[in-house]
Amino acid sequence: MTAPRPLVAGNWKMNGLKAALGELKAIRDAVGSGGAGRAEAAICPPFTLVAAAAEAARGASLGIGAQDCHANASGAHTGDISAQMLADAGAAYVIVGHSERRADHGETDAVVRAKAAAGIKAGLTAIVCVGETRDQRVAGKANEIVGAQIEGSLDADFPATNLVVAYEPVWAIGTGLTPTTADVADMHAFIRGKLEKLYGRKGVDIRILYGGSVKPSNAAELMGVKNVDGALVGGASLTCADFMGIAGVYK
């Protein structure tokens, strides 16, 4: 049994104008010259840059993804983007169920599951996010909350090969706070157990990313934790120097 190939994915959130493609090309080149070592690297820019980013990364080893998709393939959904459209634009990944979407857009586990299914059906790898709030952790409910999110947001029919789970404690996102390595190890082992229950032996190969205030200065420690198969990086993915400082732990 070998550990899955790590994935370091950058979530640019609502950041990046066309000028940011320069940074993306710098990341592409750094990944191309081996800067991410044995890890797979991906950047998920805002929708407006997905096609241009995919064009810039065509034939290169940097993957491009999006940050959300609609559950339907097409139809009367003004302002929404389908997974098919993302695949057509050159995306290979789609993040679904990010806590900012769950909070800002009221996305339930059922909605997240439908979006993940749509992404997978379109040939994308779905990066499904889960994570507890500060209050939930303080109340000792982190496992209960994350367990329910996993069960509600995933489907046993998903092909394990197109599925990535990202554990992002809400209180660690953009705050500079991170859980202890012991807490990360406990949660990732708990998620691994859930994945093995859902997908059997294939659950061992599903990558479980850690996200929340990952920086070059803490990446080696966090990525060194058992069952942490990479990172989902927000703020520190916006510059080539910081992103490669994180991906570079896999060199």
Binding to ligand 13P (CB under 6 A): which residues in 68-87? none
149 binds ligand 13P (CB under 6 A): no
213 binds ligand 13P (CB under 6 A): yes
- Of the candidates 40, 98, 107, 188, the residue annotated as catalytic is 98
Q: Which of 27, 93, 94, 98 binds ligand 13P (CB under 6 A)?
A: 98
96 binds ligand 13P (CB under 6 A): no
Q: Which of 235, 242, 244, 249 binds ligand 13P (CB under 6 A)?
A: 235
Q: Which of 64, 66, 83, 233 binds ligand 13P (CB under 6 A)?
A: 233
Pick 191 or 214: Cβ nearer ligand 13P: 214
Does residue 107 carry a catalytic annotation? no
234 binds ligand 13P (CB under 6 A): yes
Here the tokens at position 59 are: 């034939």
102 binds ligand 13P (CB under 6 A): no
Q: Which of 168, 219, 227, 248 binds ligand 13P (CB under 6 A)?
A: 168
Does residue 98 carry a catalytic annotation? yes
16 binds ligand 13P (CB under 6 A): no
Residue nearest ligand 13P by beta-carbon distance = 234
DSSP the chain: --PPPPEEEEE--S---GGGHHHHHHHHHHHHTTTTTTSEEEEE--HHHHHHHHHHTTTSSEEEEES--BSSSSSS-TT--BHHHHHHHT--EEEE--HHHHHHS---HHHHHHHHHHHHHTTPEEEEEE---HHHHHTT-HHHHHHHHHHHH--TTS-GGGEEEEE--GGGTTTS----HHHHHHHHHHHHHHHHHHHGGGGGGSEEEEESS--HHHHHHHHTSTT--EEEESGGGSSHHHHHHHHGGG-
- For ligand 13P, the binding residues (CB under 6 A) are 11, 98, 168, 173-174, 211-214, 232-236
